[in-house]
Amino acid sequence: MIDRYKHQQLRIGLVSPQQISTWATKILPNGEIVGEVTKPYTFHYKTNKPEKDGLFCERIFGPIKSGICACGDYRVIGDEKEDPKFCEQCGVEFVDSRIRRYQMGYIKLACPVTHVWYLKRLPSYLRYRTKRRRRSPPLLFWLCHYQSRVTPGPAAPDLRSSRPFGRKTTAMKII
C-alpha cells in the first residue's frame, strides 16, 4: 500500500529517446553493445528459435528457458562459483527467464512519431503545445505539412513564411 503522507507528489512526463536508449542498452563482457532491435523477424521458421537482433532476441531480452543460452549451453543460475554470467559463444546472459518481462529494447526510427492519443484526446496536448485552435485545419495535416517545410530562423511556425524542401509536398491521410 502506498503511504499518502510519505509520497505527496507524483510527476508523470514523457521520456526522451536518449533516456530510453540508455535504459535499453547493455554492454556484454566482450565489449559488444546490445539493445537495439535491428531486424523485424521474431522466430526462425525452421528451428523455431528467436532470431538474433530480432523482436524476441535472447541477447537483448534474456533467455527463453532459465539457465539455457541460445546455443544450448546449460548453467546453474544460483551458482556463484562460476565467474562469467554470459555465454562466450552467443552472448546470452545466464539468468532466470522471467527477466524477459522487464528487459527493454529499442528501435531507431527514421523520423519522430507520436502516439495517436496525443492527437485525438480532448484537450489535445499537441494543440496546446503548438498553440493551435480547435477550428483551425486538422492538427495531423498541419504537423505533416509543417514537417515538410523549412522555417527561416527561430521564428514561430507559420506556413506562409516557409519554403518547401523539394518540388513535391508530402501528403498524408487525415485521421
What is the 3-class SS of 100-136, one letter each residue?
HHCCCCECCCCCCCCCCHHHHCCCCHHHHHHCCCCCC
Mean pLDDT of successive 10-residue stretches along the chain, which has 175 residues: 68 80 87 88 89 89 85 70 71 85 88 71 64 56 51 47 46 47
Q: Which residues of 4-41 are buried (b: 16+ CB within 10 A; e: fewer)?
A: eeeeeeeeeeeeeeeeeeeebeeeeeeeeebbebeeee
pLDDT of the residue at 62: 86
pLDDT of residue 93: 83
Residue 99 C-alpha cell reads as 527477466
Instruction: Give dist(CA 18, CA 70) in Å, integer.
Output: 29
At residue 81, the pLDDT reads: 57
pLDDT value at residue 164: 47
pLDDT at 132: 60
For the chain, the distance separating the N- and C-terminal CA atoms, rounded to the nearest angstrom, is 42
Position 52 scores a pLDDT of 87
Instruction: Report pTM.
Output: 0.59
Q: What is the structure's pLDDT at 85?
A: 80
Q: Write down the domain spans for the chain.
A: 14-108, 117-164
CA gap 5, 118 in Å, rounded: 32
- Alpha carbon distance 61, 82 (integer Å): 22
